[in-house]
Amino acid sequence: MHRTGSGDRARELEEGLYRKLIQAFHDGRLVIYRLRSPQQTPCALGESHEVNGAWQSATLIYGPWDTNQEHTHVTTWRELPGQAFRPDTPPDVQSAPSQNLEVRVDDLPVLGTLHRGPETWQLGVAVEDHKILVTGRGAIGNLALETVDDIVPLIDARRAHIENYRRQR
């Protein structure tokens, strides 16, 4: 959630969401994967989705939030009953040829599918009941993934990004 122009109420809603995310993460109801060796920094929680009290997805953003610049997004999601969630896919990779690619996820080899468009690329892998989509613009780099062990720094980075955005407006 990112709202401008509504002041204190928006901040209250954001902080309430952060508390829910932290609790769900600590309870094991929210699993998030990240790049082990990212090329871009910082890394921040970009967005998350809750459906009927169940956490469905979370996206981490590496580098700038402007998708016209070099960046990487890592979305972790799981299918929920009655839902057909699909993360955003850049138009130039939707019809791009695919190749199988073995990546490491928590040090285990996992077969994924890589699509390379003229400007962007996308890797999809499945780990148990979670799916991971890594999308980026620019060099692909090391695609090894690992489970996030602490969500608080990701939320703090999001807070900093939003606060900076508000100051610039």
Is the confidence at residue 3, as pLDDT, over 70? Answer: no
Q: Identify whether the C-beta of residue 45 lies closer than 8 Å to the C-beta of residue 18.
A: no
Q: Identify whether the C-beta of residue 94 lies closer than 8 Å to the C-beta of residue 100.
A: no
Is the confidence at residue 140, as pLDDT, over 90? Answer: yes
Contact partners, residue 165, CB within 8 Å, separation at least 6? 2, 4
Q: How confident is the model at residue 5 (pLDDT cuts 50, 70, 90)?
A: low
Contact partners, residue 102, CB within 8 Å, separation at least 6? 109, 110, 111, 112
- The fraction of the chain above a pLDDT of 70, given in percent, is 96
pLDDT, tens digit (0-9, with 9 covering 90-100), for 47-74: 999 888 889 999 999 999 888 899 999 9
Is the confidence at residue 34, as pLDDT, over 60? Answer: yes
Contact partners, residue 28, CB within 8 Å, separation at least 6? none
Contact partners, residue 49, CB within 8 Å, separation at least 6? 55, 56, 57, 58, 77, 85
pLDDT at 4: 52
List the domain boundaries for the chain. 31-150
Is the confidence at residue 117, as pLDDT, over 70? Answer: yes
The CATH number, out of the four listed (1.20.1530, 3.30.2010, 1.10.3210, 3.30.200), of the domain defined by the range 31-150: 3.30.200
- For residue 131, give the 3-state DSSP assignment: strand
Is the confidence at residue 1, as pLDDT, over 50? Answer: no
